[in-house]
Chain A
Amino acid sequence: MTAFASTPSVLAENLALALKLAVRELRGGVRGFGVFLACLALGVAAISGVGSVSRALSDGLARQGGVILGGDVALSLIHREATAAELNFMEERGRVAIVGTMRAMARAGDNNATLVELKAVDASYPLAGEIKLDPPEGLVTSLAAPVGAYGAAADPALLARLGIAAGDRIKIGDATFEITATIASEPDKLAQGIGFGPRLIVASGALRATNLLQPGSLVRWTYRVKLDDASARGLAEFVRETRRRFPDAGWEIRTRTGASPQLERNVRRFSEFLTLVGLTALLIGGVGVANAVKHYLDRKSATIATLKAMGATGGTVFSIYLAEVGLLALIGIGIGLLAGAALPFAVFYGFEALLPLPFSPSIQPGALLLALLYGTLITLAFVLWPLGRAHDVAVAALFRDRIEPPGNWPRRRYVALTVIAIAALAGLAIGVAEDRKIALIYVVASAAVFVVLRLLAAAIMAVSRRVPRPRSTTLRLALSNIYRPGALTPSVVLSLGLGLSLLVTLALIEGNLRRQLTSTLPKQAPSFFFLDIASAEAERFNAFVRGHSPTDARLDEVPMLRGRIVSLKGVPVEEIKPDPEAAWVLQSDRGITFAEDVPEGSAIVEGAWWPKDYDGPPAVSFEKRTADLLKLKVGDPIVVNVLGRNVETTIANLRRVDWENLGINFVMLFPPNTFHGAPYTLLATLTYPDGGKPDTELKLIKEIALAFPAVTTVRVKEALDAINSIVADLAVAVRAAAGITLIASILVLAGALAAGHHTRVYDAVILKTLGATRGRLVLAYGLEYAILGSITAMIATAAGAAAGAYVVKEVMHFRFVFTPSAALIAAGVSVFFTVAFGLVGTWRALGQKPASVLRNL
């Protein structure tokens, strides 16, 4: 009759008996389990909700893959168009739509200019999905050339930005366009990533008429193919055949099953991050669960002793209460799962119009199962310990009418079970994570915070026991309440500390991210990036910009070519599985440059820079962090394809680059002799000494657009605004998740304080009988809570700052700045809730009539 009986039939009998007695016990109601149920429901709802929403999004992306991609498969090339042989190959296998995209400057008359994301399409566009225009005339009609101009369909934002209306004309390069329609929806918008300007769709012929297609200009040609054999096998076969037939084409191949891999990866990573935040809510809830079970078992100790007196073994008692707690946990987890499963539907029906992404709400069994597992393991990890202690409730106490709580440590088997549950929990968190390193850091950090807070509680108790007794009775009472047996100190410190640590961590990460993107934009950050400056125009451009900007403004120009890495250390890139963070370097064409001297903002950390007028074999300088991620070192051979020619080179040195100043920098940098005679364009930045003012910046955009129609100007502030608005949207989700954690924390705190209520009533009554006034008692209790809250806030802020600094520095690779406002808010929240919840309970205790309580003591 133990929880560890060996044979299955005995085990089944025990289980049945335990369940029967547990159900009987539960008839007494679930008083004291409110916090238990709420904590589990909240945490499980957060995890299952995040999982369900993210999977609904992934499903949406997968189902809409063909539409997002604009075909079954898309082959994209930078700079060059497909050769006749390549195009023939595609046309033999399906219908092809050719799309050319580039950034360009749109000019409205002589007074306005702005950056546009230009998209040139042919008559087959779109192969999948539907483009919606206003007026709804059909794309071909809209793009047909009116007299003296080409037709163009524009994002309404472009009209607003240029102050024009449909029917007005704009110029891009050498061509004139009439805005014949505005774009209501564009089916393949997601596959393009973040746009820095509004979209303008034109016909392919019109793009050529702009004369922007010069050698080296940054145009991307994408060939979308709707395959005749669109089956999964046909698709795989097409990709294989393409790679085999054109191994050196240098195109990036995407299929409908991975239409927007970057977006999918980001969705997954972000949902994993939110899951960890949800798991923290559940972890904090676990403290509430443990507290609830401990106090419940304390109340039940007479019943437990009676059961043992009647022949129940310690194991049976453990089984009965495990079954009872298990049933309750199932209710809590069930409520959480229901809420989590409903979340995608709520999001869909509540915010469909606002969602920029395809979304298919459905019940997501995988996400729910994961949340169920987390909920179960958290419950076990937190209840096995207090349940194990019930094993040793002394029956002898029944004879003495005084039930002594068992010792703090349960038997070894329960300690072992607790350890197994915690290990399983950690294993699950790490096992299901895409980024195991982050999950591992999370597990270690959580464990560390738990240990630190537990030690802190012990330290607070030890110190308050040893400090000299103050003269003030009130302060003495407050101090002794902190360390007395059964004091609230451990549960308050743990529940409040965990929630606050996470809150401070998230607040600091968000603050640093925002600072990185906006407020502390480095003073030396450029105001503009100028792309596609033809090398022949370089001198005129230089003179023009200097003539139109203050004398102390700084213009930096570097040559730029496009190059694609073909192999690293003799291994073709197709066969390399790079670290996800460095995968972009190998994916398609990258900007590369050449230089005589070490560029500003770079420092050589390994190897040596090439001498002046270097005339040796091809060499390359590689950015240090990327080299580390790709496991490259000085002397390793690399083959880079530039303008169709394979350049075999070796790494001469590694550079550490300060990306934060937003200056021009490249992963790969060559000595000038490598590309002698090759056509290139210039990339330039302009930096104002005062950081730039909107009106001077906007004026310069117009002037350059008029003088150099082919040069694309990217205003850094606008680009950052685009990124910032995305970060702001994500921050809402992060804050919501952090809010759930805070609620869990407050719930646990309230639960812990409520559990101490009984002792408070006893104390209050005795003290009132001895002549203490209400005011003095309130002051003493308030002081106790304030001391606990303040110390916890300090430590939680320190722990949160450490975690935040680690994430900002090691994961995001930003400089970390501690913002005291986050810490102050945390401290304020902490002290406020502790004192408020504590005093609410105490006030009730103070209202008790001494006589009625004394009679029952």
Chain B
Amino acid sequence: MKPPRHQPVAVAMEGVDLSLGTGRARVHILKQVSLQIAAGEAVGLVGPSGSGKSTLLMVMAGLERPDAGRVRIAGEELGRLDEDALARFRGRAVGIVFQSFHLIPTMTALENVAVPLELAGRSDALARARHELESVGLGDRFGHYPAQLSGGEQQRVALARALAPMPALLIADEPTGNLDEATGKEIMDLLFAKRAEHKSTLVLVTHDANLVNRCGRIVRMRSGQIEEAAAPSVAVARLR
């Protein structure tokens, strides 16, 4: 599964194998997965529940270590990094947007966005966070706690948080799954606009055919394997 030629590679996975659980509960989730994504590319990851999409995202984010195979993200060989180095790498190079937002409830919107920058030791963390929040249209919500924000606003904060460290790779796991259709569309417009602005590589897991359609390439998974990669029009037709 290779990216278009002549572009630097953002994600390179080769022969990735991963089983989770122990004993009889052990499940072989990823089976010999190989995938390359070019820098700046937007890839939609589709497939039925349990096909291994989320696990593949976790491997890309350095949150799961494969049992076998190589993973190279933004030029970094993840297998060589110890756990702490992986955490630092994630803070620097990978932004994640979750379906359930996962904002920290005891922190304001501004603090939530500043956290990854603070963890990376950035002295301009708050200034940068302010800028990101303003750029997602929440300039008047700095001091609001997650519970005081609507679902859409929370996902905007999550998006600003993911983008604040200017990551090379942006991962979004069903980012509109918990939002109504109109808000979901707003968020996706924002996501794609910001991605373009930051020139980030995007890997998006979704069941939404409209969203997949906006990606440059679709990767379809089934039973832990990549079934095929195709242009959106073909993939979307299959999704429908």
Contacts and interface: CB of A to CB of B under 8 A. Distances in A.
Interface residues on A, range: 20 to 34
A307 interface: yes
Interface string A386-418: 000000001110111100000000000000000
A1 interface: yes
13 contacts: A1-B84, A13-B121, A24-B111, A307-B115, A309-B61, A309-B63, A309-B96, A310-B91, A311-B87, A311-B88, A311-B119, A312-B119, A313-B83
A2 interface: yes
A764 to B, nearest CB: 26
A83 B67 CA distance: 97
A795 B55 CA distance: 48
Contact of A310 (B55, B105, B119, B121): B119
B106 A306 contact: no
A310 B116 contact: yes
Interface of A: 1-2, 13, 17, 20-21, 24-28, 302-303, 305-316, 394-396, 398-401
Given A310-B161, A314-B87, 7 more contacts: A26-B106, A310-B96, A311-B116, A312-B119, A395-B58, A400-B54, A401-B99
A307 B105 CA distance: 12
Contacts of B61: 309, 395
B223 interface: no
B119 A399 contact: no
B83 A398 contact: no
A20 B118 CA distance: 10
Contacts of B115: 21, 307, 310
B208 interface: no
B154 to A, nearest CB: 13
A306 B102 contact: yes
Contact of B118 (A17, A25, A308, A401): A17
Given A24-B106, A395-B63, A313 B88 contact: yes
Nearest to A27: B106
A308 B91 CA distance: 9
Contacts of A398: 98, 100, 102
B107 A24 contact: yes
A396 B63 contact: yes
Contacts of B96: 309-310
B119 A1 contact: yes
A314 B85 CA distance: 11
Nearest to B61: A309
A675 B92 CA distance: 96
Q: Which 10 pairs show the lowest CB-CB distances between chains A and B? A: A311-B91, A28-B106, A310-B116, A313-B87, A313-B84, A399-B54, A306-B102, A311-B119, A395-B63, A303-B104
A24 B84 CA distance: 23
A131 to B, nearest CB: 68
B119 A316 contact: yes
Contacts of A315: 84
Given A306-B102, A396-B64, A398-B102, A314 B83 contact: yes
B132 interface: no
A13 B118 CA distance: 11
Interface in B114-133: 115-116, 118-121
B90 interface: yes
B87 A308 contact: yes
- Identify which of A305, A310, A316 gathers the most chain B CB atoms within 10 Å of its CB: A310
B153 interface: no
Interface of B: 54-55, 57-58, 61, 63-64, 83-84, 87-88, 90-92, 96, 98-100, 102-107, 111, 115-116, 118-121, 161, 165, 173
A311 B165 CA distance: 10
Contacts of A309: 61, 63, 90, 96, 102
Nearest to B93: A311
Contacts of B107: 24-25
Contact of B98 (A17, A303, A399): A399
A251 to B, nearest CB: 73
B89 to A, nearest CB: 8
Nearest to B64: A396
Contacts of A396: 55, 58, 63-64
Contacts of A312: 87, 91, 119
B177 to A, nearest CB: 10
Contacts of B161: 310
A296 B149 CA distance: 24
A394 B55 CA distance: 13
B64 A17 contact: no
A182 to B, nearest CB: 70
A312 B54 CA distance: 21
A14 to B, nearest CB: 9
Contacts of A26: 106
Contacts of B116: 310-311
B104 A307 contact: yes
A68 B84 CA distance: 67
A20 B64 CA distance: 29
A418 to B, nearest CB: 21
A2 B84 CA distance: 8
Given A13-B121, A24-B107, A303-B104, A311 B90 contact: yes
Contact of A399 (B88, B104, B165, B173): B173
B102 A314 contact: no
Contacts of A310: 90-91, 96, 115-116, 119, 161
A313 B62 CA distance: 12
A303 B63 contact: no
A20 B121 CA distance: 13
A309 B92 CA distance: 11
Nearest to A24: B107
Contacts of A399: 54, 57-58, 98, 173
A294 B121 CA distance: 29
Contacts of A24: 104, 106-107, 111
